[in-house]
Structure formats: structure tokens, C-alpha cells
């Protein structure tokens, strides 16, 4: 991964030169790289991901990418859906998530490879977007649970994967059954690291698991209430607690 930056006008872009420069179907480095309308004009939008905001699947030639526009939720979105308060470039949502994802990816943890982060400043506010490599054939754990396609072996892999991230110190503030993906080979991946951070071991780990359990309950999965207590997730985590 070769990181580089590009600035034009109000826009600043952090990108992986190895990914962007090899993408023969992507716009040139610039604001258009994060513009859904430009990708649609080129005919390279292949689909859209569920969830809040705009996440598009893009045909970038050798890879398929995911473009996510950062959007606010809740009451504050009524005032501004896309604008965030500017406190410096390193603190922007896109740059923080890019660097965290790159760090975990370099450690061999199963996160999507980051491609580019774009920030456009408007005085005291900014808008942002992030592009990552799409995981081929991946399906959300929630989808597999609802379809009754998640067996004991898979659930134990989910637990082991979460343990790996906790051992690395990742506090995933939105750990839920839709941010855990399973690819065609059965490997478990963790996505959407917005607002996440690396921390020393603490009570946040159990808070992560409680949030996941609440998410599982919403999937209508019959065993969701006991999934963690049965040891699929909690026991593998405790196995390394000293």
C-alpha cells in the first residue's frame, strides 16, 4: 500500500496509489472519484448497499469498490445531513477511518482494503466520503441468520474473529450483525469502522458484545438471546483475558 495525498481547491484526498492507479475504470484522482453522479454517468454503478446513507458498489475494473458518503443520523441530520464540524484534517471522519482500516489491514486482520478518503472543506464544516474494496460474494451475518444458514461452526468463527479484533484493541462502536460479513469461503470480515478506535483492554469489550447481542435479537434469530451466553462469542474472548 502506497499512501499519497492530492489537493485541489477545497478538496483533499488521501489514497492508496497501488489501488487507484491500477483502476482503469475509475475517474481521475479528484472530487469526481467520490461523486455518485459521475460513476452513474460512466455506467459503473453495479448496486447499492442497505443501511443509512449512500453506499454504492462500483466497477473499478480489476476490483469492485464500495463508495460510502458520510451522513448524519438522528435529530442533528435535520440541520445538516452531510456537514460535520471542522476540527482539523486528521480528525475528519474519512481520514480517521482510512488510517484505522489501513492499520488493521496491515496487521492481517479481515477488514476491507481502503482505497481513498475524500474531504471537502466549507469554512468551519466539511463533507466526506470513503472508498474501500468490496469483499467478493460477502453476505451479512444478519442475512445468514434470518435465512437459517449460520451453523455452529460459522458462529464460532464469528466469535474467534471478534476476539482477534479485541486482542488488537479495536473498539467497534457499532458492532452489529450487518457489519459482520461472511465471504464465499466462509471467512468472517468486519466493516464500517467509522468512529472506531484502538484502546487498551477494558469494559468497552463487553459493551461491544452487548450491542451485538441487541442487534442479533432484531434479526428474529431464534437463538439470538443465548448466542453469546452459549459461548460462541463470549468464551473465545475470555480465553485470552489474563
Show which residues are catalytic: 174
**Integer Rg of the chain from CA:** 18
Nearest to 172 by CA among 189, 186, 191: 191
Distance CA 194, CA 211 (A): 16
Distance CA 186, CA 138 (A): 9
Cβ 96 vs Cβ 90: under 8 Å: yes
Half-sphere exposure of 133 (CA within 13 A, CB side): 23
Q: 88: which residues sit within 8 A by CB, 6+ positions away?
A: none
Distance CA 121, CA 124 (A): 8
Helices (H), 21-126: 36-41, 93-106
Distance CA 16, CA 132 (A): 10
Q: 48: which residues sit within 8 A by CB, 6+ positions away?
A: 54, 55, 56, 57
Amino acid at each position: 500500500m502506497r499512501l499519497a495525498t492530492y489537493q485541489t481547491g477545497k478538496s483533499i484526498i488521501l489514497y492508496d496509489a497501488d489501488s487507484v492507479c491500477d483502476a482503469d475504470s475509475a475517474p481521475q484522482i479528484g472530487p469526481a472519484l467520490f461523486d455518485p453522479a459521475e460513476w452513474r454517468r460512466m455506467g459503473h454503478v453495479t448496486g447499492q448497499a442497505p443501511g443509512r446513507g449512500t453506499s454504492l458498489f462500483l466497477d473499478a475494473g480489476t476490483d469492485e469498490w464500495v463508495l460510502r458518503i458520510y451522513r448524519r443520523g438522528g435529530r442533528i441530520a435535520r440541520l445538516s445531513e452531510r456537514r460535520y464540524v471542522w476540527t482539523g484534517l486528521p480528525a475528519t471522519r474519512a481520514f480517521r477511518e482510512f488510517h484505522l482500516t489501513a492499520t488493521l489491514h496491515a496487521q492481517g486482520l479481515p477488514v476491507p482494503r481502503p482505497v481513498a478518503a475524500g474531504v471537502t472543506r466549507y469554512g468551519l464544516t466539511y463533507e466526506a466520503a470513503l472508498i474501500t474494496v468490496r469483499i467478493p460474494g460477502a453476505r451479512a451475518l444478519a442475512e445468514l441468520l434470518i435465512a437459517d444458514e449460520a451453523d455452529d461452526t460459522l458462529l464460532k468463527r464469528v466469535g474467534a474473529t471478534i476476539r482477534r479484533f479485541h486482542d488488537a484493541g479495536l473498539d467497534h462502536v457499532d458492532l452489529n450483525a450487518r457489519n459482520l460479513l461472511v465471504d464465499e469461503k466462509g471467512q468472517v470480515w468486519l466493516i464500517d469502522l467509522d468512529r472506531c478506535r484502538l484502546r487498551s483492554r477494558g469494559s468497552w469489550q463487553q459493551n461491544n458484545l452487548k450491542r451485538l447481542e441487541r442487534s442479533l435479537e432484531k434479526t428474529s434469530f431464534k437463538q439470538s438471546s443465548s448466542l453469546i451466553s452459549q459461548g460462541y462469542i463470549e468464551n473465545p474472548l475470555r480465553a485470552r483475558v489474563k
